[in-house]
Structure 1
Amino acid sequence: MSTLLQPAPPGVIEELGAGPRRRTRGVWRVLGYLALAVAAVAVLLPFYWMIMSSLKTNNDVFTIPIKWWPDEPVWSNYADIWAKSDMTTWLRNTVLLSAAVTLLQVFTGSFAAYGFAKVRFPGRDVLFLAYIGTLAVPWQSYMIPQFVMMSKFHLTDTLWSIIALQAFGPIGVFLMKQYYESVPDELIDAARIDGMSEYGIYRRIMLPLSVPALASLTLITLVTTWNDYLGPLLYLRSPDLWTIQLGLKSFINQYNAEHALIMTGSVLSVLPIVVIFLLGQRYFVEGVATTGLKG
């Protein structure tokens, strides 16, 4: 009888209590996965509708109720858009602008960030805060003075206007500075003792160590420049200088609102960015995840 009244060992009690907690964690995990699935569907649904609309006739794009799958896919839309528009010129201008702006922003952002992060000079922190503070100023507030300045330099209606205005960016400086601060100062000091110049440290040490951050900055700048609409709308007036974003606008006036072709052009516009992101997503995620961590 005394044997039956003995208390259970501590390990058994802990095991009995762990069962409900484990089940609770499992329920929350399932709910989390469901929430992520719903969010993924909500994000991807507009892209699915865009792709399906590119395979419809113009009259079927905005039918009610919505047709989530075309009755007969109109694959000829992808051939018609090249015949009815100057898509080659639009894509060439977009690629040229995106590549030039991205290369310049990556270079200027990483170079300036090295100075703010690893070079000591009077007023460094104040200058950095003032430069980053420009992020709080909306572009619309200085858009007109900027346009007047470009007009005086005779750069309007040229691709150089967009390149000159977007060659520098505070976001790139902030992103790269946060990443550079994760590099130990002892490594930089050792290179200086060995006689390496600041330019050599930047080129031979900092750049190879910051590939993930550079990939993140490259992708962010590329996507922003590729999708830019207001900048080219202000400065690029000649049709032979239009980017793909301006070119798609022309379908509304010139082709009586050809919504199917607009969706087709949108798919062609998004496709290169999707491919680039899929190829570099590992570096992008790593760069974002490690930015701001102290070494």
Structure 2
Amino acid sequence: MELKSSAKISLYVLLLALAAIWLFPVLWIIISSFKTNNDLYSFPPRFWPETITFQHFIDAFEKGNFGRYFLNSAIVTISSTLLLLLINSMAGFALAKYKFKGATVLLVGFLSTLMIPLEVIMIPIFKVLSFLGMFNSLLALIIPPAATPTGVFLIRQYLLSVPDELLEAARIDGASEWRIYTQIILPVCKPILAVLAIFSFMWRWDDFLWPLIGISDPSLYTIQLALSNFIGEYNVDWGSLLAMSVITMIPVLVVFIIFQRQFVSGMVTSGMK
């Protein structure tokens, strides 16, 4: 028993040390955003500032028009996430519970796209969006990631655990396929939908490369593109950049805290089938 207790204590100490190493850069960014310029550029670097200031946050909002950029990012992130949950849940439901020719081939085709990096398909996506008149609009950021092979696969794997007899009983009672989807499938899928919601929110909120390609109008910039405005050719406004970087962490952290219980449950269950 003593050996087991010592092993547990050693494991916890190791995990705490690894967590501290991982969190240190994040903590440094947060603390640095409240430093004065003298503390920020001091050498040797000071971990804790002599004077705490909110001036970097004030300057960033005054110079950067970040209210508009936050709104753009919120519209893109929320709309894309809702579309992703709708489309992926429908596709996962069909692949898990409907028997039709080519279902396996279709699933393999979905999964094979995971091996294709975004850089390879950027030009085709750009041409399609330009042809449809979506270039330089928020739709160019909302539509392309509205369905992902990862989401389809996770939901399919999760729904394999749902008994087919449950759906058959609903059909015998006269329930339509749409009613089965909305009143049985979606409630059952809450944990895995929470997982996808968190992933999608993080992907869309932190995305930089595709908005850089799909948007040229500064008024439509997302928050990540706006952060690049603080990086000039010859200098970097580190104070404002750090302050806004801290602000951008908050929405993702809030979403994760809200869905953390479903996130853990969904991650554990989805890959077991």
TM-score over 0.5 for the pair: yes
* Structure-1 residue corresponding to 2:96: 117
Instruction: Indicate if the aligned counterparts of 1:98 and 1:222 stay in contact, CA closer than 8 A.
Output: yes
Alignment of 1:63-102 (within 5 A): 63-102=42-81
Aligned partner letter, 2:193: L
Structure 2 counterpart of 1:144, from 118, 123, 128: 123
Name the Cα RMSD after superposition.
1.6
1:268 matched to 2:236: no
Structure 2 length as normaliser, TM-score?
0.95
* Structure-1 residue corresponding to 2:6: 27
Structure 1 residue matching 2:34: 3-state secondary structure: coil
Aligned partner letter, 1:272: P
Instruction: Indicate if the aligned counterparts of 2:39 and 2:50 stay in contact, CA closer than 8 A.
Output: no
* Structure-2 residue corresponding to 1:4: none
1:258 matched to 2:227: no
Alpha-carbon distance between aligned partners in 2 of 1:264 and 1:208, rounded to the nearest angstrom = 39
Structure 2 residue matching 1:142: 3-state secondary structure: helix
1:127-159 deviations in whole A, cap 9, x for unaligned?
011111101111111211221222222221111
1:175 matched to 2:148: no
Alpha-carbon distance between aligned partners in 2 of 1:111 and 1:163, rounded to the nearest angstrom = 18
Aligned partner letter, 1:285: V
Aligned partner letter, 1:228: D
Q: State the identity %.
A: 37
* Structure-2 residue corresponding to 1:8: none
1:74 Cα deviation after fit: 1.6
1:163 matched to 2:142: yes
Structure 2 residue matching 1:281: 3-state secondary structure: helix
Instruction: Indicate if the aligned counterparts of 2:36 and 2:51 stay in contact, CA closer than 8 A.
Output: no
1:174–1:62 Cα change, 3 Å: farther
1:169 Cα deviation after fit: 1.0
Runs of 4+ in 1 over 6 A off after TM superposition: none
1:184 matched to 2:163: yes
* Structure-2 residue corresponding to 1:225: 204
1:62 Cα deviation after fit: 5.0
1:281 matched to 2:260: yes
1:226-255 deviations in whole A, cap 9, x for unaligned?
000001011111110001100010011289
Largest Rg, 1 or 2 = 1
Instruction: Indicate if the aligned counterparts of 1:58 and 1:258 stay in contact, CA closer than 8 A.
Output: no
1:79-129 deviations in whole A, cap 9, x for unaligned?
221111110011000000000000000000001100000011111111011
1:219 Cα deviation after fit: 0.9
Structure 2: 5+ residue runs without aligned partners?
A: none
Alpha-carbon distance between aligned partners in 1 of 2:231 and 2:38, rounded to the nearest angstrom = 14
1:130 matched to 2:109: yes
1:59 Cα deviation after fit: 5.2
Aligned partner letter, 1:122: K
Structure 2 counterpart of 1:201, from 180, 183, 193: 180
Instruction: Indicate if the aligned counterparts of 1:109 and 1:176 stay in contact, CA closer than 8 A.
Output: yes
Structure 1 length as normaliser, TM-score?
0.88
* Structure-2 residue corresponding to 1:211: 190
Alpha-carbon distance between aligned partners in 2 of 1:62 and 1:183, rounded to the nearest angstrom = 58
1:60 Cα deviation after fit: 3.6
* Structure-2 residue corresponding to 1:54: 33
1:78 Cα deviation after fit: 1.7
Alpha-carbon distance between aligned partners in 2 of 1:52 and 1:26, rounded to the nearest angstrom = 36
1:40–1:282 Cα change, 3 Å: same
Aligned partner letter, 2:23: L
1:189-229 deviations in whole A, cap 9, x for unaligned?
22222222222211111111111111111111011100000
Structure 2 residue matching 1:73: 3-state secondary structure: coil
Structure 1: 5+ residue runs without aligned partners?
A: 1-21
